[in-house]
Amino acid sequence: MKEMKLVPLVLIVFLFVRHGTFASFTPVDNYLIACGSSKNVTFQGRVFVPDSEHSSLVLKIDNSSIASSNSSVPSPIYQSARVFLGISSYKFGIEQKGRHWLRLYFYALPKSGQSLKSALMSVVTDNFVLLNNFAFNSYNGSYMSKEYAINVTSNTLTLTFIPLNNSIAFINAIEVVSIPDEVLPDQALSLNPTAPFSGLSELALETVYRLNMGGPLLTAQNDTLGRTWENDVKYLHVNSSAVNVSVNPANIKYLTSVTPETAPNLVYASAEMMGNANVPAVNFNITWVFTVDRNFTYFVRVHFCDIASKSLNTLVFNLFINDDTALPSLDLSSITNDLSVPYYKDFVSNSSVDSDTLTVSVGPDTMADTTNATINGLEIMKISNKFRSLDGRFSVESLLPSSTSKNINIRIMVGSIVGAVAAVVVIVLCCCFLVARKSKTTQQRQHPWLPLPLYGNSQTMTKIVSMIDGGNSGTDDDGEDAATSAVFSQLVNPRGR
């Protein structure tokens, strides 16, 4: 009898624990950095730590300063900034390889020594160009936040700021946060022509739009992955074409393939559906219009959840991306076998033909029992181009033609040449001294001894330079020290080996 009672109790405990672990995703890598700040900054419920105090973060800065302001800033994260006068990097230790959010926050602080508004900069990772030639002077706004999803395949992620045209670069805050592997796929469906698109995992993505259709603004406090979801109304082609519907978020039933990491239940608990567009025909599309860069391809994720139907298989509709049919005659209940169950689908698309817009539409299926259509969430992400860039047609290599390691090589080469010349001078002086002592008796001309030491030294120098060039790529300061001491020991004993 006792045992029989225990079973449900154990089950309940098990379910509770499972639910508990399920609901609280904790990223392995979780850098929240307040650049140039002297104190912790709390933003959207999360604590950002000063860049100077973070233990597993390396700063490689030639010359930087700090800007800060006590006057009102758009959000606490913008109170301070680190300002770079030369190419500078942050190097993040990565514990878990795979996709990471890389979020950057910029605000041209009004009260600061340098004019941050005229800063002209590029920002790159190890492999991808994130921002190129960016200046607030030519940007419509005084602050900007950017979100990228980068697959990190090594143990570090280096973020480099490049001031251009003798200008400066700056950054207010940085996030580097793990994304669960299952959230972003390697494949999606490419439209026009319809074909599978694979290889996304090797490309960089930049979030350009993320919408909670028919619902409120959601921030990092409402999303386990720290994402922001905005309301869709300002992108509607015709305001009255849509009406919002919403239910209690607790009604959303996650099944195996979709989790709160895909999107929070607050996204699925609201939707836009067909309104009264004051058009004679009841058959119309609801269309959202987005400005995009026509030189890029976009990843489009559409979230659905039938929260309005009273019974299964009554709502059947079409999804279009631009003028292409993305999902014809979509009957959500035939896929999910229930109402209020989330579902999403991924596509790859360009802008509309010859335009800088991308449109997403839903409209009723003519064969359906009811004339209606629904959509709950929408994410549009720019895909990096063949230059591995998300901004323009330049690669990381072309923006950093002499990489940091090459700069170090040049410094060592200059150093070793100076050292070699000094050594030659010392040897020449020693020889002079010896020759002078000898010449007291022999009175020889100086020529015979000169060619030999000079030849010997120049040979040593060529050896050193090629050694440094070949063996010092991807060096850090330790490598530089080692190479320098190697050079030094060779020069001290030029005829050794």
Ligand X SMILES: *[C@@H]1O[C@H](CO)[C@@H](O)[C@H](O)[C@H]1NC(C)=O
The pair of three-digit structure tokens given for residue 31, joined into one six-digit string: 């850098």
Which residues have C-beta within 8 Å of that of residue 417, sequence separation ≥ 6? 461
Q: How far is the CB of 293 from ligand X (least distance, A)?
A: 4
* Cα four-point dihedral sign 83, 86, 87, 90: negative
- 186 versus 469: smaller Cβ distance to ligand X: 186
Least Å distance, CB 85 to ligand X, is 5
Toward ligand X, which CB reaches closer, 45 or 471? 45
Q: Which is nearer to ligand X, 230 or 253 (CB)?
A: 230
Of 127, 132, 350, 372, which one interacts with ligand X (CB under 6 A)? 372
- The helix/strand/coil state of 432 is helix
* Residues 111 and 69: beta-carbon distance below 8 Å: yes
Among 240-248, 409-417, 426-434, 470-478, the segment contacting ligand X (CB under 6 A): 240-248
286-291 sheet: strands from edge to edge:
286-291, 357-364, 317-321, 324-330
Six-digit token string for 283: 């058959």
288: which residues sit within 8 A by CB, 6+ positions away? 211, 232, 235, 236, 237, 359, 360, 361, 378
Is residue 179 a contact partner of residue 101, using CB atoms and an 8 Å limit?
Answer: yes
Report how many residues bind ligand X under the rule CB under 6 A.
Answer: 48
168 lies in the site for ligand X, by CB under 6 A:
no
In the bound state with ligand X, the residue whose beta carbon lies nearer, of 196 and 448, is: 196
Stretch 379-398: interaction string toward ligand X, x if CB under 6 A: --------------x-----
Instruction: Give CA–CA dist 458/490, Å, rounded.
Output: 12
**Binds ligand X (CB under 6 A): choice among 237, 313, 323, 429:** 323
Q: Does residue 284 interact with ligand X by CB under 6 A? A: yes
- Out of 75, 133, 314, 352, name the contact with ligand X by CB under 6 A: 133
Q: 96 or 465, CB closer to ligand X?
A: 96
* H-helix or E-strand spanning residue 351: none
Only one of the segments 8-16, 75-83, 216-224, 481-489 lies at the binding site for ligand X (rule: CB under 6 A); that segment is 216-224
| Min CB(224)–ligand X separation in Å | 12
Question: Hey, which residues between 63 and 122 contact ligand X (CB under 6 A)?
Answer: 63, 68-70, 85, 98-99, 120
Rule CB under 6 A: choose which of 22, 139, 155, 181 binds ligand X. 181
Binding of ligand X by 140 (CB under 6 A) = yes
330 CB neighbour count, 10 Å cutoff: 21
**Cα(487)–Cα(475) distance, integer angstroms:** 15
Find the binding residues for ligand X in span 4-43 (CB under 6 A).
40
| CA dihedral of residues 254, 255, 261, 263 (deg, nearest 10) | -50
Asked whether position 231 contacts ligand X by CB under 6 A, the answer is yes
Residue 215 binding ligand X, by CB under 6 A:
yes
Using the rule CB under 6 A, which residue among 361, 376, 385, 475 binds ligand X?
361
Nearest to 377 by CA among 277, 260, 296: 260
Nearer to ligand X, 201 or 404 (CB): 201
- The reply on whether position 444 binds ligand X by CB under 6 A is no
How far are the Cα atoms of 111, 176, 361, 371, 428 from residue 38, in angstroms, in the given order? 17, 20, 48, 58, 55
| Beta carbon nearer to ligand X, 201 or 405 | 201
| CB nearer to ligand X: pick between 140 and 441 | 140
Q: What's the closest the beta carbon of residue 337 comes to ligand X, in angstroms?
A: 21
d(CA 193, CA 323): 12
Query: Which of residues 75, 371, 403, 404 is near ligand X by CB under 6 A?
Result: 371
Q: Which is nearer to ligand X, 105 or 284 (CB)?
A: 284
Is the Cβ of residue 244 or residue 405 nearer to ligand X in the bound state?
244
* Rounded-to-integer distance, Cα 319 and Cα 330, Å: 8
Burial group, residue 72, by CB count within 10 angstroms (0-12, 13-18, 19+): exposed
**In this complex, which beta carbon is closest to ligand X, that of residue 243 or of residue 435?**
243
d(CA 341, CA 304): 8
Binds ligand X by CB under 6 A, chosen from 21, 118, 295, 473: 295
Neighbours of 323 (CB within 10 A): 11
Which of 95, 202, 338, 369 touches ligand X by CB under 6 A?
202
Contacts for 68 with CB less than 8 Å, ≥ 6 apart: 36, 37, 38, 79, 80, 81, 109, 112
232/420 with CB nearer ligand X: 232
Contacting positions for ligand X (CB under 6 A): 40, 47, 49, 63, 68-70, 85, 98-99, 120, 133, 140, 151, 153, 165, 181, 186, 201-202, 214-216, 221-222, 231, 233-234, 239, 243-245, 266, 273-274, 283-285, 293, 295, 308, 320, 323, 361, 363, 371-372, 393
